[in-house]
Structure formats: C-alpha cells, structure tokens
C-alpha cells in the first residue's frame, strides 16, 4: 500500500524566514496531495492541496510543488509568522481507493518571534 514519508520532524525558523517541508510517496497511482495544519488538541485544517495534473500551486504565503517523476511534494511557507507554529501533515490519496488519505509523520514547525 501507499507509504508517505515526511521530513523534517521538527523545524524551527525565525519570524519572517521561509519554511520548507518535504514528503515522498511510494505509490505512483497517488494523485491527490493535501496539506493539513493541526494545532495542539485540535482538528486538522486543510491549508492547500494539489492534484497530480498540476506541478505547483500557490495561495498567498503558502505554496506546494509536486514532482511526479520523483514522487515527492513540498510545502513552502514564506514570511513565517508565530501563528504559523503548529504541526503540519502531508497526505496522499489514490483515486480508486475511495478517497482515503495516507498521512506523513508530521512536522512540528516553531516560528520564533
């Protein structure tokens, strides 16, 4: 089955700097890749997603890139702010498996003021 690896597990940046989180997936049939932000004790919140027919997507300070050949995708956060501090999860989904998401291990992002 699908396996998603996420790095780094923790990331500390200074406010205003950029943060990059990377994920790789194993199943080339995966075609939907969402990113979630989860604050302590709260539900995951979708922040951006990308489909396999697109190489890059941007939404204000957040962008995601996808390399289908290498089977990896990355989250880029620019101009980080303290409120960006949270755990970020990548996930992958395969069209013919009913939409179930396989999550990466998570990255704890800390933005220091």
By CB under 8 A, name the binding residues for another protein: 1, 32, 34, 41-46, 49, 51, 89, 93, 95, 98-106
Quick one: which of 77, 67, 59 has its CA closest to 30? 67
9: tokens are 């597990």
Contact 112, 50 (CB under 8 A): no
Task: Kindly state the smallest distance separating residue 15's Cβ from another protein, in Å.
Answer: 24
Cα 6 to Cα 108: distance, rounded to the nearest angstrom: 11
Closer residue to another protein, CB minimum distance, 19 or 89: 89
Closer residue to another protein, CB minimum distance, 108 or 113: 108
Closer residue to another protein, CB minimum distance, 105 or 110: 105
């Amino acid at each position: 089955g699908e396996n998603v690896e996420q790095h780094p597990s923790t990331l500390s940046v200074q406010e205003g700097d950029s943060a990059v989180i990377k994920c790789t997936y194993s199943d080339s049939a995966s075609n939907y890749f969402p990113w979630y932000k989860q604050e302590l004790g709260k539900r995951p919140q979708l922040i951006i997603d990308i489909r396999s027919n697109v190489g890059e997507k941007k939404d204000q300070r957040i962008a995601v890139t996808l390399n289908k050949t290498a089977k990896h995708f990355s989250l880029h956060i620019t101009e980080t702010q303290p409120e960006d501090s949270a755990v970020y999860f990548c996930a992958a989904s395969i069209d013919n498996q009913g939409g179930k998401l396989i999550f990466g291990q998570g990255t704890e992002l800390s933005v220091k003021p």
